[in-house]
């Protein structure tokens, strides 16, 4: 299971890296072209905007895995250990329910937008909005890997390359 988790996280990270790199190249190229040739790529803004949507949904899972999302912890801090575990179990159940809702609603939204095309690239909106469905699935999988530690000990995954507390303090 640890090998699958390691490969799963690596694939998610590489997808984020490649998307961010491609988006940066597209935007940089468009800016240079606009100032040098006074013409820009017609599709650059649309494609980079859709890449940002994908980055948001693909990146939410790894951030959740390391405890990087905002959290209000006052109530669980005030309770004894058993009360904190109960609160975190309820939060975990609500998170799984919300992620399941994201998957379900993402699927419905994909079906509704299959025949609507983007303005410039003429790509079905369903491909862009599938980020919500895939992001929800990724959130479920990432949270499933860390939920036991979160509920019992309030711990998340550890990684020498990522410190959620340092990232949150920026």
pLDDT tens by residue, 31-49: 999 999 999 999 999 999 9
156 found inside a domain: yes
Alpha-carbon gap, residue 99 to 61, rounded angstroms: 10
* pLDDT value of residue 161: 66
* pLDDT value of residue 97: 99
Domain residues for the domain of 68 are 46-168
41 found inside a domain: no
14 found inside a domain: no
Domain count across the chain: 1
15 found inside a domain: no
* pLDDT value of residue 133: 98
86 found inside a domain: yes
Pick the closest to residue 60 from 140, 144, 165 (CA basis): 140
* pLDDT value of residue 154: 84
Q: Which residues of the chain have a pLDDT value below 70? A: 160-170
Q: At a CB cut-off of 8 Å and minimum separation 6, what does 12 contact?
A: 58, 61, 62, 138, 142
* pLDDT value of residue 93: 98
Question: Which residues does residue 117 pair with via DSSP β-bridges, in sequence order?
Answer: 124
* pLDDT value of residue 167: 56
24 found inside a domain: no
23 found inside a domain: no
Dihedral of alpha carbons 144, 163, 56, 153, sign: positive
109 found inside a domain: yes
Entry field: residues in the chain: 170
pLDDT tens by residue, 49-69: 999 999 999 999 999 999 888
Q: At a CB cut-off of 8 Å and minimum separation 6, what does 114 contact?
A: 124, 125, 126
């Amino acid at each position: 299971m640890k090998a699958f988790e390691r490969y799963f996280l690596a694939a998610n990270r590489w997808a984020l890296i490649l998307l961010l790199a491609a988006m940066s190249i597209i935007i940089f190229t468009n800016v240079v072209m606009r100032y040098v040739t006074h013409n820009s790529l017609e599709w650059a803004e649309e494609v980079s905007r859709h890449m940002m949507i994908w980055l948001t949904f693909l990146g939410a899972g790894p951030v959740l895995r390391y405890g990087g999302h905002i959290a209000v912890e006052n109530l669980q801090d005030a309770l004894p250990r058993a009360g904190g575990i109960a609160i975190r179990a309820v939060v975990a159940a609500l998170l799984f329910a919300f992620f399941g809702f994201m998957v379900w609603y993402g699927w419905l939204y994909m079906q509704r937008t299959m025949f609507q095309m983007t303005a410039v690239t003429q790509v079905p909106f369903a491909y862009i909005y599938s980020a919500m469905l895939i992001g929800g699935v990724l959130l479920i999988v990432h949270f499933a890997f860390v939920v036991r530690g979160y509920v019992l000990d309030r711990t998340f995954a550890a990684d020498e390359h990522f410190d959620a507390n340092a990232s949150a303090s920026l």
